[in-house]
Amino acid sequence: MYFILDLVVFLCLVAISYGAFWISWFVTRRRLFKRITGIPEVQNLGDGRPRDERIKGTAVVCGGSIAGLLAARVCHDFFENVLIIEPEEWLSSEDATRRFSWEQSNKRTRIMQYYSLHGLQAFCYSGLLKLFPDLEEQCRYSGITVPPAEANVTLAGTYLRRPPIYDKDFPKTMEASRAGFETLIRRLVLGRGHYDDIKQIIGTVSGIVPSPDDRSRISKVLVRKDTSNSSTVLHEIDASLVVDCTGLSRAGFKWLSKAGYGTAETYPEGKRALTDLKISLDQKLHYCTLICDVPPSVLKALPLPSNTEENKRSNYAIIEDKPTEANGRRMFTIQRLDGPHVMLFVGQYTDASNVDYPSIAAVRSLLPHLITHTPIPEWVFRCVDMLEEAQVNVKYSHVRIPPTSYIRYHQGVNIPCNFVASGDSVMSVDPLFGQGSTKAMLGAILLHTALAKTGCSEKIPANFSEFYFKEHFYKMDRFWQATRSVAYGLPFTTPIPGEKLGVSGFTPWYSRKVRFLAIEDEDASIALWNSGMGFGTPVDIFHPLIFLKTLWKVVSDRMN
Ligand SMILES: Cc1cc2nc3c(=O)[nH]c(=O)nc-3n(C[C@H](O)[C@H](O)[C@H](O)COP(=O)(O)OP(=O)(O)OC[C@H]3O[C@@H](n4cnc5c(N)ncnc54)[C@H](O)[C@@H]3O)c2cc1C
């Protein structure tokens, strides 16, 4: 009798504990979902002010790449005028908005990744759809396919289970090269005459001028322009808002410093001087990308998933589970791109400086040596062999990824109220996660949210920049933490000064175990897919059911 009573009490306690765990997980996730994912706000993209109520003056967007083009598109819905300032001369020519990027005769000189591996998270695609409702049609026009965003990422060769909840309406992504993606966005923003109030001029922004009667505001930007007789002239351009989208050159940081912003007599808790805002780490990552120009008959014959099954995404990615002393940590990807192109990619985190896979033969000879849990599928080998046999033309790019950096503007003081920054100018992360374009999209979403809150049409409110960077921290800090956590698990990373390498504690161990669970478990695969495609929150993998299943798997694996 007492035994039964004890059992009932025990079961009640278990049920109450599980319920309490579930409720706290649910409440936390709901809060994070609203605050950090950008998913609720993405629906508002494309809404703006009627033309006669737009904010007076010009939103000046410095840098005309991914973040700059998206920021300009958003500013168009709120400002009388939008001006993109971009240094690369050819970006004002027709070549920059060409229908097929592979027919361009120019190459981006300031974008080292123009011919590198490029993947687009489905979240970014969903934001683009709101900004450009005819996106899918425009992709097709530019030779870009838009398949379901199956991740097809493997854990050392073993596929994670396909997330089932999206079977009917799987979110989409683009199979585009970086050149194809950037050129498409530029064509949509600048090349079709849809957004007449957005203009672009060629020049390099070299500084900012504080407003003479209110130093908390920038009144002008300084633009350096080369003239035909190889002299340089400096122009001053009035700015209602300055958006720094200068990518890795992080020019805004320098303009603020030169103009005397970012310092104070005393710093409130959690705030610091401009010079102390930047942190960097170097994960010593090499990117070797081969873009193969494939004749139509060979392309059709390749055993790519999209050739053998309808509506399939043609990509396969493997990353080794753990680094080794000899080879660091390596990864390989094959991916269909826009037009008649297939990309082969080898990446390597390593201390070695001689990483080089300049030919299909070099990539092919690496494949059998990758350390896998499950063999690489036969179709991958067959594709690589066929590309080699056909002696296709190859465009090779090797990039040593520069140290990834984060300017923690949210901790800054005395930042002008009409200055914001988006994309890599604030934070660059490990490119392997494919989050760069998502960050640029989230920057555009934040800008939209901040501008939509602005009641006045005369000028940007005094708390604009502070609000923007605070929200930027909430939405973007997780990307930096993920980059840091992966990098600190690699023995050759140069850490942030003052920090030590090594990831200890429960979360890294648990995350790896969830990846093993996701090979067979639907719930875990959904959580990982959401996180890989930009739809998740950091607590998704801690769903009580996933948590219990993971622990159960660990115990049962040990017992077997
Ligand atoms: C090798 C590599 C691979 C990557 N792979 C992926 C991927 O697969 N998926 C993904 O989503 N992201 C990827 N990324 C990240 C992604 O490319 C970047 O996050 C993205 O390009 C950032 O866009 P941005 O507009 O902020 O900066 P950028 O694209 O760097 O553009 C900055 C722009 O500012 C201009 N500029 C510079 N200085 C000035 C100035 N003083 N005045 C005016 N203009 C200026 C430049 O000319 C340029 O046009 C990768 C990055 C690298 C390095």
Judgement on whether residues 6 and 61 belong to the same structural domain of the protein = no
Judgement on whether residues 367 and 222 belong to the same structural domain of the protein = no
Using a 6 Å cutoff on CB, does residue 207 contact ligand 1? no
Judgement on whether residues 87 and 182 belong to the same structural domain of the protein = yes
**Residue ID of nearest Cα to ligand 1 atom 9:** 434
Residue 146 in domain: no
Please give the Cα distance from 133 to 480 (Å, whole number): 31
Task: State which ligand 1 atom lies nearest to the alpha carbon of 91.
Answer: 49
Query: What is the torsional sign of CA 258, 260, 266, 269?
Result: negative
Structure tokens at 157: 């060769």
Task: State which ligand 1 atom lies nearest to the alpha carbon of 248.
Answer: 30
Using a 6 Å cutoff on CB, does residue 72 contact ligand 1? no
**Residue ID of nearest Cα to ligand 1 atom 39:** 246
Mean pLDDT of 358-376: 94
Using a 6 Å cutoff on CB, does residue 174 contact ligand 1? no
CATH number at residue 449: 3.50.50.60
Number of H helices, E strands in the chain: 16, 17
Write down the pLDDT at residue 143: 96
Task: State which ligand 1 atom lies nearest to the alpha carbon of 399.
Answer: 1
What is this model's ipTM? 0.99
> Of 453, 468, 460, which Cα lies nearest the Cα of 410?
468
Structure tokens at 253: 């940081």
Judgement on whether residues 553 and 522 belong to the same structural domain of the protein = yes
Last residue of a domain, one of 400, 433, 460: 400
Mean pLDDT of 468-497: 94
Using a 6 Å cutoff on CB, does residue 68 contact ligand 1? yes
Domain span at residue 317?
285-400
311 Cα to the center of ligand 1, angstroms? 30
**Residue ID of nearest Cα to ligand 1 atom 35:** 63
Last residue of a domain, one of 371, 400, 429: 400
Judgement on whether residues 201 and 260 belong to the same structural domain of the protein = yes
Using a 6 Å cutoff on CB, does residue 41 contact ligand 1? no
28 Cα to the center of ligand 1, angstroms? 33
Using a 6 Å cutoff on CB, does residue 252 contact ligand 1? no
365 Cα to the center of ligand 1, angstroms? 32
Using a 6 Å cutoff on CB, does residue 399 contact ligand 1? yes
310 backbone dihedrals φ, ψ, rounded to 5°: -70, 145
Residue 491 in domain: yes
Using a 6 Å cutoff on CB, does residue 288 contact ligand 1? no
Judgement on whether residues 420 and 472 belong to the same structural domain of the protein = yes
Residue 332 in domain: yes
Number of domains the chain is built from: 3
Residue 535 in domain: yes
**Residue ID of nearest Cα to ligand 1 atom 53:** 113
Residue 129 in domain: no
Judgement on whether residues 258 and 274 belong to the same structural domain of the protein = yes
Lowest mean pLDDT segment, chosen from 302-316, 355-369, 524-538: 302-316
Q: In testing the pocket of ligand 1, which one of 190, 424, 429 has its CB within 8 Å of the most ligand atoms?
A: 424
Please give the Cα distance from 480 to 252 (Å, whole number): 20
Q: Three-state secondary structure along 266-329?
A: CCCCCCCCHHHCEEEEECCEEEEEEEEECCHHHHHHCCCHHHHCCCCCCEEEEECCCCECCCEE
Residues 491-545: tens digit of each pLDDT: 889 999 999 887 677 888 898 899 889 888 989 988 998 998 999 999 999 999 9
Structure tokens at 120: 């687009």
427 Cα to the center of ligand 1, angstroms? 11
Using a 6 Å cutoff on CB, does residue 424 contact ligand 1? yes
Judgement on whether residues 310 and 276 belong to the same structural domain of the protein = no
Please give the Cα distance from 520 to 470 (Å, whole number): 39
**Residue ID of nearest Cα to ligand 1 atom 19:** 436
Residue 150 in domain: no
111 Cα to the center of ligand 1, angstroms? 6
Q: Are 290 and 343 in contact (CB under 8 A)?
A: yes
Residues 183-211: tens digit of each pLDDT: 999 999 999 989 999 999 999 999 999 99
Provide the 10 A C-beta neighbour count for residue 210. 16
Residue 139 in domain: no
pLDDT band at 168 (very low <50, low <70, confident <90, very high): low
Last residue of a domain, one of 400, 429, 456: 400
Please give the Cα distance from 459 to 418 (Å, whole number): 9
**Residue ID of nearest Cα to ligand 1 atom 44:** 63
Structure tokens at 510: 């648990």
**Residue ID of nearest Cα to ligand 1 atom 20:** 436
Task: State which ligand 1 atom lies nearest to the alpha carbon of 110.
Answer: 47
Report the range out of 410-414, 482-486, 531-535 with the highest average pLDDT: 410-414
182 Cα to the center of ligand 1, angstroms? 10
176 Cα to the center of ligand 1, angstroms? 16
Judgement on whether residues 258 and 213 belong to the same structural domain of the protein = yes
85 Cα to the center of ligand 1, angstroms? 15
pLDDT band at 411 (very low <50, low <70, confident <90, very high): very high
**Token match 């896979």: residue?**
357
Judgement on whether residues 270 and 411 belong to the same structural domain of the protein = yes
Task: State which ligand 1 atom lies nearest to the alpha carbon of 88.
Answer: 47
Please give the Cα distance from 306 to 151 (Å, whole number): 14
Q: In testing the pocket of ligand 1, which one of 110, 256, 346 has its CB within 8 Å of the most ligand atoms?
A: 110
Structure tokens at 109: 């000189």
Judgement on whether residues 56 and 24 belong to the same structural domain of the protein = no
What is residue 463's DSSP assignment? T
Instruction: Name 35's Cβ contacts closer than 8 Å, sequence gap at least 6.
Output: 474, 475
Residue 196 in domain: yes
Structure tokens at 378: 């036969």
Residues 39-83: tens digit of each pLDDT: 999 999 999 999 899 999 999 999 999 999 999 999 999 999 999
Q: In testing the pocket of ligand 1, which one of 120, 428, 437 has its CB within 8 Å of the most ligand atoms?
A: 437
Residue 407, pLDDT above cutoff 90? yes
Write down the pLDDT at residue 155: 76
Using a 6 Å cutoff on CB, does residue 493 contact ligand 1? no
Residues 88-103: tens digit of each pLDDT: 999 999 999 999 999 9
